[in-house]
Amino acid sequence: AQSVTQLDSQVPVFEEAPVELRCNYSSSVSVYLFWYVQYPNQGLQLLLKYLSGSTLVKGINGFEAEFNKSQTSFHLRKPSVHISDTAEYFCAVSEKTNAGKSTFGDGTTLTVKP
Amino acid sequence: NAGVTQTPKFRILKIGQSMTLQCAQDMNHNYMYWYRQDPGMGLKLIYYSVGAGITDKGEVPNGYNVSRSTTEDFPLRLELAAPSQTSVYFCASSREPNYEQYFGPGTRLTVT
């Protein structure tokens, strides 16, 4: 069994400030890790993913995340946010041996204020 | 490429009615998924499929059924709708080796 915990349900920040959205996961086997973004009244779209290799992964819109196996974390960061980054962000995990089955966190609402 | 399409976009059902939510993808993905998203919550996996003719239960399968007769289509059937099934339903697809999921725009279902 696997689980995902997003540690902050809401994160308010000012425009051009840095932001970190935290994600911890639990799994007894090796996993793939993902961050998705959901804009209002839309489906989810992929921001970035970790499958293997370098633990620092870069995604779209200037986001990056670092996989930390010892701490079982996959935190999402952006050095300078824009108003347009206001959205819901979801962390997800899939077991490598059963990648057809994904578990999502409850989401973090990022609100960027002017 | 249309990607993942879902119909209808909105639907209101009376308690006890049945309906089928349609999902289709044109990316030749072997994996397909159905999720529900309740307000303020993350996505809960209802059913998934790893290929035509193969389906398996997710976290919250009760009250739903699926079939996968072709690679492209993955309909979700609600039998005897209940108010607890009021939610937004998302269909998604993916393929090896990246497993990145592509989502449809969702179906907003209200059961009253």
pLDDT at B24: 97
Q: What value does the mean pLDDT take over residues A43-65? A: 93
**Do the chains contact at A102 and B45, CB–CB below 8 Å?**
yes
Model confidence at A30, pLDDT cuts 50, 70, 90, reads confident
**Do the chains contact at B43 and A90, CB–CB below 8 Å?**
yes
Model confidence at B52, pLDDT cuts 50, 70, 90, reads very high
List b or e across B74-94, with b for residues whose CB sees 16 or more CB atoms inside 10 angstroms.
bbbebeebeeebbbbbbbbbb
Share of chain A above pLDDT 90, in %: 77
Whether chain B has a CB inside 8 Å of the CB on A88: the answer is no
Whether chain B has a CB inside 8 Å of the CB on A60: the answer is no
Q: Do residues A102 and A52 lie in contact, with contact meaning Cβ atoms separated by under 8 Å?
A: no
Q: How far apart are the first and last CA of chain B?
A: 36
Whether chain A has a CB inside 8 Å of the CB on B74: the answer is no
Q: What value does the mean pLDDT take over residues A21-50? A: 92
Whether chain A has a CB inside 8 Å of the CB on B58: the answer is yes
Q: What value does the mean pLDDT take over residues A58-62? A: 94
Higher pLDDT, B40 or A83: A83
Q: Do residues B59 and B68 lie in contact, with contact meaning Cβ atoms separated by under 8 Å?
A: no
Whether chain A has a CB inside 8 Å of the CB on B76: the answer is no
Nearest alpha-carbon partner for B12 in B104, B78, B70: B78
pLDDT at A31 over 80: yes
The DSSP element (H or E) to which B46 belongs, if any, is strand B43-51
Nearest alpha-carbon partner for A35 in A90, A74, A85, A78: A90
Model confidence at A5, pLDDT cuts 50, 70, 90, reads very high
Q: What value does the mean pLDDT take over residues B27-56? A: 92
pLDDT in tens, B66-97: 999 999 999 999 989 999 999 999 999 998 87
**Do the chains contact at B99 and A46, CB–CB below 8 Å?**
no
Q: How far apart are CA B4 and CA B24, in angstroms?
A: 6
pLDDT in tens, A40-51: 888 899 999 999
pLDDT at A64 over 70: yes
**Do the chains contact at B100 and A49, CB–CB below 8 Å?**
yes
